[in-house]
Structure 1
């Protein structure tokens, strides 16, 4: 991924000041100094953009700062979530109704101009929303960057990946297998992939990756399904660097359909058999439009020695970004397509063993989930009734909700270990992600 390494602008006093521009300042007066309304004329150019933030929205993975009520077609400044901790408060509230200047390259995303902020010091609150005249100084309004961020940039460094060395496959002694799912929130590297929009999301800082690993180590699952991983190399490097000694013998990831490169994947201590991607399957959304899975429906056969094999389906359904009602037909289309696949399996073998897990981006009572779960003899089983109400949280930002699940086929539900369903509660700061890890245990039968 591409990452601009920019020295943070240091404001020495907490009161309004009139800074003197330095040649190496990110707000170099030699850059084009433009109004937000003129950004459409500067695609591909690094500029300093001026205006007033009239609307803002934090969706968890990023915060949008809008300069016009018609935010769908006009300039937006985007703050990735890994920068939140570098500001003195949440950027949604910090910059709303403030005059600001933002520095960065203006890119075209969905036919409108944007700047993705690379460091907390790349946006400042100022006295006036108008670009300065030649030679005119810009007065800032206090410091919006934490002392820690000022002293040390949060920019991760690009490092060569560590080679993944598979461990010996685990041999079950009692037949109990633990399956987990974890949306790891933009687990990207710091190398540019020219075929995806991943530069929109900077790589994670070391502390965030360490927190992800801490949660996975705490779960100690035999199979872990992942969402929001950039590519197989990233997942292999993560396992090799941060999960060494945990016995994972297989890493599975097939590039999916998402344009910004967030894929689903899986790691396993147990031998992996056949792997199937459904990324090329054509179907229709609930409103009749031709579509494919937004990411993929990944199907992985797990084949423990001496015990019944089972399949793990990994999903990451369409998010509610852009509006819950607008995105619902896509999620519903995805769940209907998945259900069609599962029905074929269950028609052939009513006791087929599989789980379907991941980030469903909807609550269990929603129509997309209910259509997926189904009814009657082929109904999928959810196990979260084993949890107290205060543990039924898998999305840990506002609004707290349960949108990640491990669901079992009728046959798999019969193997579920009672009271084993679990959610490791946390926050973005403690988890390295805006999701909590979910797990369930199953006691497999020995093969004759």
Structure 2
């Protein structure tokens, strides 16, 4: 496994595990070989952002609603219908998961003691072992080394697919992925500049990144867009709205490029349902996304305790095509002493019957 690091706008990172190999998963979802990710050359290979080449602004309700008919029952190329296979997905902010080494280029890097690092890693591992998801998208992770330590020391090596890109956070906390399924591609958007929709400026960049994690499961192309907006008290509301609009534009373009894709937008929005950034990603009309926590019982429908107020700020939104695969009864938000020992956010969990 090698760490994917971004050096240019819209850099692409491709796993040298071929698509054909990624599609050879057995019905049990058997583990494949370890992910090898390397940096693609420059933005000329991917366009400015790796996806959006037509100047689309990606308004809140626009685009992406046509995927439900694409690709046939077996995904991408059509063919015979496949039996659905469950894909268990979790997103979780693990609050400053930083290691005990000076191994980051971040200007404000914090180095934990070995005792602090080990304790935090073990606490995260205990929760993830209990959840046993197929794909895990984590926020506030330092680097690939910390993810590899987590997988090897606490998770029994069950996640050969590890992806992370050094984003824009000065502390070096990034959005990473652990996957039992090989990753086909990782695309970073950290260097893009974009205005608020309907304006020409000022332009903004993602506070962290909006990485695309591509994989193939049961013949279906699945893309997960990782989200981590800054806390509201530390952020410009126009900037966070522009980030949300750009996130939805990226998602729209992914589906426009290939209507057979199943797309998820997930992570720590640091915003509650009904807020402008939340609505910008959710969309409207035929293009409206489905948020898995909507199906969690009301008393458990929160992911963060803000000064005694229980708020839902972590979300897992699915494009209409992917939403059709969601097992609504599977949606949950895990609370408990084990979660509290690891972080101040609760993990969001849902299963999709992918076909």
Alignment equivalent of 1:251, drawn from 145, 153, 162: 162
Alignment equivalent of 2:128, drawn from 216, 234, 259: 216
* Separation in structure 1 between the aligned mates of residue 225 and residue 339 of structure 2, nearest angstrom: 29
Aligned-partner SS, 1:296: coil
C-alpha displacement of 1:371 = 1.2
Alignment equivalent of 1:353, drawn from 262, 266, 282: 262
Aligned position for 2:38: none
Residue 379 (1) aligns with residue 283 (2): no
Residue 420 (1) aligns with residue 333 (2): no
* Separation in structure 2 between the aligned mates of residue 402 and residue 342 of structure 1, nearest angstrom: 22
C-alpha displacement of 1:254 = 1.1
* Separation in structure 1 between the aligned mates of residue 246 and residue 339 of structure 2, nearest angstrom: 36
Count residues in correspondence: 273
Residue 240 (1) aligns with residue 149 (2): no
Give yes or no for contact 2:196–2:238 (8 Å, CA) kept in 1. yes
* Separation in structure 2 between the aligned mates of residue 444 and residue 244 of structure 1, nearest angstrom: 25
Residue 432 (1) aligns with residue 342 (2): yes
Inter-CA distance 194–182: structure 2 relative to 1 (3 Å threshold): closer
- How far does the alpha carbon of each residue in 1:414-440 deviate from its partner, in whole angstroms, 9 at most, with x for none? 111131111111368734101111111
* Separation in structure 1 between the aligned mates of residue 85 and residue 263 of structure 2, nearest angstrom: 15
Residue 172 (1) aligns with residue 27 (2): yes
Residue 403 (1) aligns with residue 313 (2): yes
Residue 281 (1) aligns with residue 136 (2): no
C-alpha displacement of 1:280 = 1.3
Alignment equivalent of 2:177, drawn from 266, 275, 278: 266
C-alpha displacement of 1:349 = 4.5
Aligned position for 2:214: 301
Unaligned runs of 5+ in 2: 1-21, 29-83
* Separation in structure 2 between the aligned mates of residue 311 and residue 172 of structure 1, nearest angstrom: 20
Of the structure 1 ranges 370-379 and 219-228, higher mean CA displacement relative to structure 2 is found in: 370-379
The two structures, once aligned, show a CA RMSD in angstroms of: 2.3
Inter-CA distance 198–240: structure 2 relative to 1 (3 Å threshold): farther
* Separation in structure 1 between the aligned mates of residue 126 and residue 186 of structure 2, nearest angstrom: 28
* Separation in structure 1 between the aligned mates of residue 341 and residue 287 of structure 2, nearest angstrom: 35
Q: Which has the larger radius of gyration?
A: 1
Unaligned runs of 5+ in 1: 1-167
C-alpha displacement of 1:338 = 1.1
Aligned position for 1:329: 238
Alignment equivalent of 1:182, drawn from 92, 115, 132: 92
Aligned position for 2:297: 388
Inter-CA distance 367–191: structure 2 relative to 1 (3 Å threshold): same
- How far does the alpha carbon of each residue in 1:205-230 deviate from its partner, in whole angstroms, 9 at most, with x for none? 43332221111111110000010011
C-alpha displacement of 1:179 = 0.7
* Separation in structure 1 between the aligned mates of residue 204 and residue 160 of structure 2, nearest angstrom: 34
Alignment of 1:101-120 (within 5 A): none
* Separation in structure 2 between the aligned mates of residue 315 and residue 234 of structure 1, nearest angstrom: 19
- How far does the alpha carbon of each residue in 1:223-246 deviate from its partner, in whole angstroms, 9 at most, with x for none? 00010011111111111111115x
- How far does the alpha carbon of each residue in 1:236-287 deviate from its partner, in whole angstroms, 9 at most, with x for none? 1111111115x21111011111111010010100121011111111112578
Runs of 4 or more above 6 Å deviation: none
C-alpha displacement of 1:308 = 1.3
* Separation in structure 1 between the aligned mates of residue 170 and residue 226 of structure 2, nearest angstrom: 18
Give yes or no for contact 2:251–2:263 (8 Å, CA) kept in 1. no
The alignment's TM-score, normalised by the length of structure 1, stands at 0.57
C-alpha displacement of 1:192 = 2.1
Structure of greater relative contact order (alpha carbons < 8 Å, 6+ residues apart)? 2
Inter-CA distance 369–341: structure 2 relative to 1 (3 Å threshold): same
